[in-house]
Amino acid sequence: KIKAQSLSARNVYIQRAEINKILDLGVSPNRIIFANPAKPASHLRHSAAVSVDTMTFDNECELYKVKNLHSQARLVLRIRCDDITAVCPLGIKFGCEITTEAPRLLQVARSLDLNIVGISFHVGSGCRDASTFRRAIAAARELFDFGIKLGFNMQLLDIGGGYPGNRGTYIDKIAEVVNTALDDFFPISEGVQIIAEPGRFYTASAFTLATNIHSKRTSDNHTMYYINDGVYGSFNILLYDHATVEAEPLNFDPTKKLIPCSVWGPTCDGLDQVIENCILPEMDIGEWVVFKNMGAYTLPVASPFNGFPIPKVHAVIEESIWLLLKDCLPLSEDQFTLNSDFIMGHDPWSISRPRCSSPHDSGYIFENLVH
């Protein structure tokens, strides 16, 4: 785990609707960071109206916009320090160059009498090179010192996301690098507030997608399975998140013949392909196929293209955990599929069929509240 060195929970949101959602939950505006370096003017005015003051920027135009629309903002400069091997590098869109642009932007902010409070970065989603975090934290230290010389009260460091979240992946190596770098460049005695954006880390493995085979096309040496979810729904991650997925039959029968096949979504688009080539058991129409690690960037960006509905969520919980949580949280049994046959070490979906209303529904199984 990344150590709690001056850590405190903040909510990172990048547009007006998300800000409203978290405010409606009773979260104080001073615990929200508006983490979009390129904000529409209407969103800036709204953040000023609801006292969401902490926000990121990475260019001079944004500084002038903030000066005009929210001059009391607490600004966080986003720098670019990409892991070039990351699954989704973000530096092409956000983050200023560290050695030339960043110092100049701090000087412009000083001349505009704006309030710079910290530095942020995002090494890229699906970071593979942990050393990138150290380079970014070291660069942030230099900019902290430069900002302090300019008279800013530098007090916040946002180390972004990029942390692995799939089953079988580990954060240990990244955590070791981050912790060491924080000790070296931002010792706890300085009292700098450290925040992060570990969305994928928390959500990726929490959901398993259950899909139903509604059609099947067989040739001499290849079978095409058509399922009720595709790239316009949950599998948009194949197009926009550079993801790969692995299909598994819900009820695996070792006696069935393994065959070469492909998996396709339900829409009329020929590009709606989930898996180009794989080996699966021979299955029939009506059987269920499941996909693990479907919790990140799936449902929130799914669409009902061609009239196919967005999947519903069916929460599954181990009975022993339910007994532990039911008196602690505002939850009821109606919100979960209680599985008394749950066997430790096995996934809920491998034991009980997903509770979907019909073969035309695909559904997410929220596998556990506790990992």
Give the tens place of pLDDT for each residue, 5-42.
444 445 555 678 889 999 999 999 999 999 999 999 99
May I ask the CATH architecture of the domain 204-366? Beta Barrel (2.40)
Confidence of residue 366 (pLDDT cuts 50, 70, 90): low
pLDDT for 370 equals 37
Nearest C-alpha neighbor of 288 from the set 243, 248, 255: 248
Structure tokens that stand for 122 in this block: 């995002």
Establish whether 268 is a catalytic residue. yes
Q: Where in the chain is the domain with CATH 3.20.20.10?
A: 11-197
Nearest C-alpha neighbor of 348 from the set 300, 306, 311, 316: 316
Q: Which of 88, 261, 268, 328 is catalytic?
A: 268
pLDDT for 362 equals 58
Domain 11-197 has CATH 3.30.1330.40: no
pLDDT for 11 equals 52
Candidate from 81-90, 138-147, 160-169, 351-360 with smallest mean pLDDT: 351-360
Q: Quick check: 203 pLDDT over 90?
A: no
Mean pLDDT of 68-92: 88
pLDDT for 165 equals 83
Nearest C-alpha neighbor of 369 from the set 292, 316, 294, 323: 316
pLDDT in tens, 282-326: 999 999 999 999 988 898 889 999 999 998 888 787 788 878 877
Q: Where in the chain is the domain with CATH 2.40.37.10?
A: 204-366
Segment of 4-18, 220-234, 349-363 carrying the highest mean pLDDT: 220-234
Mean of pLDDT over the chain: 86
Q: Quick check: 151 pLDDT over 90?
A: yes
Cα–Cα distances in angstroms (integers) from residue 214 to residues 263, 276, 351, in the given order: 11, 18, 22
Q: Quick check: 229 pLDDT over 80?
A: yes
